[in-house]
């Protein structure tokens, strides 16, 4: 299936930002999405508009990395009760993220897993075909500081004194990426 991005008439500067985080059954691309957390913020003001937390029931939990499940805090009972199938979860995300620019900490990881899942379920993206990465922004503004060895979400959250909630839960990591972005913008404005 060919992925085709919609071309909206909205100017780039007027597109809201969708801070996204995914949790998966492992790092490899053959692993499944377990969670998608997202926070949408208004273009230009970056005021938070809404958020969504989607738990996705895995189809092949037997192929999951035990380490990944432990990191995510996967609990079969919780996912069975609160989770939806992958196609429904992806549709929920696509409705939520429509006409936005995706932003994430290490965006390629999240983007590739979402893209792969969209292809598997014959769905098309509704968000812009380019995105922003808080890692890249952090590298530009903080990369010369000795306390950063990886510029991870946790390192930047600690640096900016941001409460991460439950690390490696998609919605909490999406909220943290949003808060880090706000701090990076403030840091950038202070350097101009």
Other Cβ atoms closer than 10 A to 9: 6
Region of residue 104 (phi > 0: left; psi between -120 and 50: alpha; otherwise: beta)? beta
What is the domain range of residue 54? 15-191
How far, in Å, CA of 100 to CA of 168, rounded? Answer: 23
Of the pLDDT bands very low, low, confident and very high (cuts 50, 70, 90), residue 4 is: confident
Does residue 3 form part of some domain?
Answer: no
Does residue 10 form part of some domain?
Answer: no
Give the CATH number, domain containing residue 150: 3.30.420.10
Quick one: which of 62, 70, 51 has its CA closest to 174? 51
User: Cα 180 to the chain's mean position, in Å?
Assistant: 13
**pLDDT of the residue at 2:** 79
Q: Both tokens of residue 23? A: 């949790």
Does residue 4 form part of some domain?
Answer: no
DSSP-derived secondary structure letter, 35: E
Say if CB 101 and CB 131 are below 8 A apart.
Answer: yes
Of the pLDDT bands very low, low, confident and very high (cuts 50, 70, 90), residue 88 is: very high
Q: Both tokens of residue 183? A: 């701090």
pLDDT (tens digit per residue) in 50-74? 999 999 999 999 999 999 999 999 9
Rounded to two decimals, the pTM is: 0.94
Does residue 1 form part of some domain?
Answer: no
Span 171-176, average pLDDT: 98
Span 167-176, average pLDDT: 97
Q: Both tokens of residue 154? A: 């946790």
User: What domain count does the chain have?
Assistant: 1
């Amino acid at each position: 299936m060919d992925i085709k991005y919609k071309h909206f008439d909205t100017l780039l500067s007027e597109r809201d930002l969708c801070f996204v985080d995914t949790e998966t059954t492992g790092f490899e691309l053959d692993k499944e999405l377990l969670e998608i957390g997202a926070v949408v913020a208004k273009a230009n003001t970056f005021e938070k508009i809404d958020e969504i937390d989607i738990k996705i029931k895995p189809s092949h939990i037997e192929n999951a990395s035990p380490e990944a499940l432990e990191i995510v805090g996967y609990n079969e009972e919780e996912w069975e009760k609160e989770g939806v199938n992958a196609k429904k979860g992806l549709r929920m995300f696509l409705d939520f993220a429509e006409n936005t620019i995706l932003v994430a900490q290490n965006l390629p990881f999240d983007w590739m897993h979402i893209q792969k899942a969209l292809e598997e379920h014959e769905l098309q993206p509704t968000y812009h075909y380019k995105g922003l990465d808080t890692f890249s922004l952090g590298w530009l503004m903080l990369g010369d500081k000795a306390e950063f060895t990886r510029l991870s979400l946790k390192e930047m959250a600690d640096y900016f004194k941001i409460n991460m909630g439950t690390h490696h839960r998609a919605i909490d990591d999406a909220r943290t990426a949003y808060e880090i972005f706000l701090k990076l913008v403030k840091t950038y404005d202070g350097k101009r």
